[in-house]
Each structure stands twice: as structure tokens, then as C-alpha cells.
Structure 1
Amino acid sequence: MITLKQVSMFTLYLIIFLTIFNLSNKYTISENILRDIQSVKLRVAIDRSSLSLEDPNLNYSGDEEALGEYIYSLNEILSEQQSRVRLTTVSSKELHAKEHEVVEVLSGTTHETYLMFSVDESHKLPFYIIPFMFSLLNFAALKSIARHRVKSLKTKNIAPAEQKKPILHIDLYSKALHLSNNKEVKVQLANKPMCFYLALIEYCEANPEASLNQNKELPEELLELADKYFHRLISLGHTIRKRPNFSNSLEKTLSEIRAAMDELLANTPELKAKYYPPKAHGEGSRSKLHSYALSNITLDDVEIVGK
């Protein structure tokens, strides 16, 4: 929808370009008229001795028919050149110009010779489409630039919390992890920690209030998920070994996952709260109060390729 401000802006551009075009066109017309008049004056000056002009001293009235043919021949040439000038009179008597007429005088002989020209100083209206098109193009260009600037400012002013955060991509085909905004940095995981981490993500998403402690047995649902992903790795040709015991060496498995996350999230530590299995704090690394569950994760935070 075009606003009043935009209409005013376009009108301003149109006025500016019309003024420039009008002044430029007027100057060009004047120069062309002057050039053609000087050209005709030179031609008449060369031919003056042979022209049948009246001579008051000799009581000679001149040959009007021959003079008329001469003027006609000059105007034919001017017409072919699409000149705005036409020679109307050549006389030994003084002439006086009216509107749209110009009188020039040739000196250098006993009697001065007067030339009268009719001139067309009108502006061709079809050419005024040019300033209109320039105004339209400039208005469209500046409007596009303004729209781009507004869009850029809006993008810059978006609060960090509102910006789209990267998510974790886990590729079962390559057994690699990377963030959606940086595919160059990839971290590999061995079969067992890979399957356990995938099972942990899916289990914690389905059970956000779950508390997982290394001193307790792993939930059966978590083990089934880990087993499911291990069979998927077998089908993808990554291993032919039997299913590992995910309950054994749990601390080592978690350490491998944390090491991979430390490397992957080195430049985005704020994502650790979502993807990093928490470590125990305080006295004793196996505190009964400690849970390594991913309590902040959802399936929208992870994309699993090859699932």
C-alpha cells in the first residue's frame, strides 16, 4: 500500500527531475537555434552578391520570385536537418521581429541586409516521459534501499534469546556430531557412548523429571533405547560385535560423551546446560544426590540423521 509520505517523496523527485530536464532541454534548444541561424547567415553572406535584393540608391526593386526560390531552397535544407529555424525574409529594409521571430543583420556592404527567421522553441511533450521514468526508478531504488535497511536494523535488534540457536546434529552414517550452524567442526564417538548418548537424549526427553544416578541400576527403558541404536549401527555396517553391556563402565561412557561435548561446544559453552551430562559436584564424585540426566533437552534440540 502506497502511503502519503511515499507519494510526497515521488512528487519531490518528479519536480526535481522535471526542473533539471526542462532547463537542460531549453539550453539545448537555444544552442541548436543559434547554431542554425549562424549557419544560414554565413550562407546568405556568401550568396549576397548574387541575390536579387532591392537597392534604394539605384531604384531597383529586386526580383522577389528569385529571392523566394532562394529562401525556399534554404528552408528545404533546414527541413531535412529537422531544424527549428526557418528563413522567412531577406531584405535591404530594416525588419522588426515579433513573437517567435529573430532578426539578424549582415553588414560589410553599402547597405545592410536583414534576415528574419521564425523559430520553434517549443518542448516536445513525449520526451517528458524521461524525467518521469528517472523519478520512478530513483523512487523504487531508494524504497528498496530503505526496506533493506529496516530489515537489517530489525535483524540487529533481535534479542539474543529470540535468535535461532543452533541444534545438535548426530549422524549415524558417519558416527559424527556437529552443530547446525557449523558443519566444519565434527566430533566422532565410539559405538557404545554414541548409542548410550542417543538413548539418554530420547529417554530424558520422554521423562524430563527423571533422576539418573550412577549408584542405581539403569532404567530398563533406557537400556532398550541404547540397544535399539546399537542394532541400527549394526545395520549401517559400523560393527558386527555383540551388544555391549551399557550398565558396565558407566563412568567411562559418560566421560567419553563429556569429552566429545567439551570439544564440540568449545565456542558455545552456553549450550552445555542442554547437551552436557552433568558432573557430580561436592564431596565424592558418586554422590547419591547427583543425576547425569539431560533435564533441559527436547527432541527439537536434536536432529538424528539415519535414525
Structure 2
Amino acid sequence: MTDNIKAALLMMGALAMLALNDTAIKTMALTIPLFQIIVLRNGVTTLALGFSILRAGRWPRLSRRDLGLSLLRGVGEVGAAYFYLVALVAMPFANIVAILQAAPLVVTLAAALFLREPVGWRRLSAIIVGFVGVLLIVRPGTEGFDTFALYALISVGFVTLRDLATRRLSPDAPAMTVTAITSAMVLVFFILLGLNDPWVPMNARSILLTLVAAAFVLGSYVTTINAMRIGEISFVSPFRYTSLLWALLLGFVLFGEWPQTLTLVGAAIVVASGLFTIYRERKTGRMPQTGPEEIQALESRP
């Protein structure tokens, strides 16, 4: 088995763990306030990340520039987490994950507009086609389009901010340190969000699901780092789209959800557009092989 195949399997496993994390949150949010779930989950993950960094010997120091970008990245993650998770509780699982697949296309377009990264007509055409796929998923002006579909789209905007900040980080910015800062900022935000709301008692099942969610998030971090380190990014990146397959499977088995035909068609268009964009980046040599790309891969979803 080649390193690329191993890395692809690790990436699919990491995305499966993220999908299971989402499933645990969606299940618990029926009876427990969302802020309470995220405070407990990110409390565990932030402590675990901090412990891992300290265990390595010392806390890696960030330059002033990288610290500022890490904080900006955290703002993007906070916004993405809030809007994504609120929509996740109310929307069919596969629908919101399908919308989020448009994030790489939006990031590519935003990088061209704000970072002056070159985008040829082929990739620009793929982005436009991908947006058509998003319109098929959300179908504005129909009964299927509501506040939560809008929240999902807003989360894509915050993911774009997060990933643009990641692209500007220096190649030697420590992935785990940047991720720990991000996780801590999400934790603080949800603590503040729930200051005026009472916590509810949690039974053993809910506590277990919270710990499982935290374990899956941490597992996805470690697995993704290993995937990005042993495989070529240009080979591994397309396997991120397997998150949609996990969402379809878990949504159907656990929640009895199955997207409408137009939603599936739109999702297929978005994925195809994203894969073509990755292909063009690989062919033109614009896809980075080290550095911030590893950090960006750590959190493929809020």
C-alpha cells in the first residue's frame, strides 16, 4: 500500500469521525442547549490540545503576524461554528454538508479577489457551475429555503474567512498551536452565548455522547495531520468530499433523512466543480505541499 493510499484512507477516516461528531451534536441538541454541548465538547478538546502541546516540551511561540492571523482565523471559526451548528440541528444532515462543499470554491474565488491569487477561466467557470449547484440545493424562493438554509450559506462565508487567514500563515506556524487557539476561541464564544441561559441536567447517555463527540474531533485532528504528512496534498484533498457520503449514510440510518433529487443533483455538481478545481490547481502547480495547508485541513468543517 502506497503512502498516498494510506493518507487517503486516513482522510476518509477523519471525515467519518467529524460526521459522527456532528451526529452526536444533532442528537443531543434535541434536549440540551447547543451552547452547553459545545462548551463541554470544546472544553475537553481545548484542554487535550493544550496538554499535548505542553507534553511536547514547551509551548511553541507564534510571531506577531501569525498570532494576529490565528486570532482572525478564530473569528472565522467562531462564526462558522455558530451558524453551521444552528443549521445542523434544524436541517437534514446531508443538505447542510452539501452546501458546505461549496466552501473550497468560494475560498478560491475570494483568494483571487483579495489575495490576488491567479484564477484562470477554467477554474472560474467551475466556480460558477458550483454556485449553480448550490442554488439547486437551497432553492431560494421555494418552501425549502428558510432561515436555516441562509445560516448554512453564512457559515460558508465564515469558513472562507477562516481559510483565507490560514493561507496567510507562515509555513512554520505550528498546526496544533493554531488549532488550540481556534478551539479556545470557540469555547469562550459559546460560554458568553449561554451566560443568560440555564444549563440543563445531563443523563449518562448525554455525557457519553459529549465525550464521544470530543474524542471524534480530537481523533480527526490527529488523523488529518498524519494524512497530510504522509501523502501528497494534491492526491489527498479530493477525498475530503467523502464527508457528503458519510452525511447521506448517517442522515438516512439515524434520522430517516434522504435529500430530494434536486438536492442530490446540486450536491453532485458542487462536488464535481470542486474536484475539477483541485485538478486544475494540481496541474498548474498552484497547490501547496506543506505549511498552512495542513492547518487548513484540520478543520474541514466547523
* Bigger proportion of residues as strand: 1
Q: Based on CA coordinates, which of the two structures has the bigger radius of gyration?
A: 1
TM-score band, normalised by shorter chain: under 0.3
* Bigger proportion of residues as helix: 2
